[in-house]
Amino acid sequence: MPEFNRRLNDFEKFGAKVIGANPDSVYTHKAWLEKIGQIDYPLISDYTKSLSKVFGVLDEETGIANRGTFIIDPHQKIRYASENDLLVGRNINEILRVLAALNRGKPCPVNWEEGK
């Protein structure tokens, strides 16, 4: 999540708002933030795991949520969804590439990158 914070301005260029959520408690979030530093976007405690269930990233057998990334438009439609195993970190550049493609408003070819 620190990388999302470092790249917050890049998200704001697209009018996107970053919101973090995980199944840790508010107290765990506070302890975690003491170690990594403050973040400048909301962090939601999904302690009941209801968001994890709704978004389909919860492993019901283990009770562990995978890393989910979702781009939701102003009409509450999911435009992009990605689920990573806990062993695989997110790619912020890829999320920003998808935002650029969605803002482009027309189909993009494979490996498209803004400005290329």
Q: What is the pLDDT of residues 46-99, one digit of tens each?
A: 999 999 999 999 999 999 999 999 999 999 999 999 999 999 999 999 999 999
| pLDDT (0 to 100) of residue 54 | 95
Predicted pLDDT at 67: 94
Topology adopted by domain 2-104:
Glutaredoxin (3.40.30)
CA-to-CA distance for 6 and 2, rounded, in angstroms? 6
| Residue 1 confidence (pLDDT) | 65
CA–CA distance, 99 with 18 (Å, rounded to integer): 12
Give 21's strand partners.
Answer: 44
Question: What is the per-residue pLDDT for 15?
Answer: 94
The residue among 15, 33, 14 whose CA lies nearest residue 24 is 33
The residue extents of the domains of the chain are: 2-104
